[in-house]
Amino acid sequence: MSGWIRWPVRVAAAIGFLWLIVSFTPLVHWWATKLAGRWEEPKGEALVVLAGSEMEGDILGASTYWRCVYALTAYRQGWVRRIYVSGGSSEQRPVAELMRLFLVGQGVPPQAVEVEHASLSTRESALNLAPTLTRERGALILLTSDFHMYRAWRAFRKAGVTLRPSPIPDARKRAVRWQRRWDAFLDLATETAKILYYRARGWI
């Protein structure tokens, strides 16, 4: 087989092998679990909820939506008294404002939801919320997707805020069905690249 054919064949074989690994092994579930860390119920004084996936117009992205749903459940259970939502947008309505509207629309009192809408990254959320959170009394809970918890929790710690992690089963939930594992795999790969970047910059 000539050289110019050999390389495309090898690339195709590698892609096929990766497809089998992602689709038919516990890789995605294991990877998400590693990034999530320990699992705890979101019980404390206040809950910090970070925006996730991109919006589609004025519609919350899937990861953001599920973070809000779990935050709503925690509030309804009486596990927290206040919810901080964080996330901005450079082009449209801030994600945090849509998160607030969702929570209030589902029965959370408006005065129980604090909005931080200037942040465009996990690091900015940590830095912008830090002055307010350090004045809070009682346990503070960080609620975000399983694959995002590793970087988010460390970004807040670097900003001087200690939070108890409470990941939600985002990538792990998608990993249950093999048809959705590639979507979760791409999120995990992207998040791992961001972790490496944050480490290189000294942000976590």
Pairing of strands 164-168, 113-116: unpaired
| Domains of the chain and any CATH numbers | 35-172+179-201 (3.40.50.620)
The CA dihedral of 152, 82, 66, 89, to the nearest 10 degrees, is -60
pLDDT in the model for residue 59: 83
Residue among 57, 132, 55 nearest 68 (CA): 55
Q: Are 50 and 122 in contact (CB under 8 A)?
A: yes
Joined tokens for residue 103: 């929570």
Report whether pLDDT(14) > 90: no
Q: Are 147 and 35 in contact (CB under 8 A)?
A: yes
pLDDT in the model for residue 195: 98
Threshold 0.85, pTM exceeds: yes
Report whether pLDDT(17) > 60: no
Which residues are CB-neighbours of 125 under 8 A, at least 6 positions away?
50, 51, 86, 87, 116, 119, 152, 155
Amino acid at 15: I
**Across the beta sheet with 82-86, what order do the strands follow?**
113-116, 82-86, 46-50, 140-145, 164-168
Report whether pLDDT(2) > 70: no
- Tens-digit pLDDT profile for residues 88-109: 875 678 999 999 999 999 999 9
Confidence of residue 179 (pLDDT cuts 50, 70, 90): confident
- Tens-digit pLDDT profile for residues 36-83: 998 888 999 999 999 987 777 778 889 999 999 999 999 999 999 999
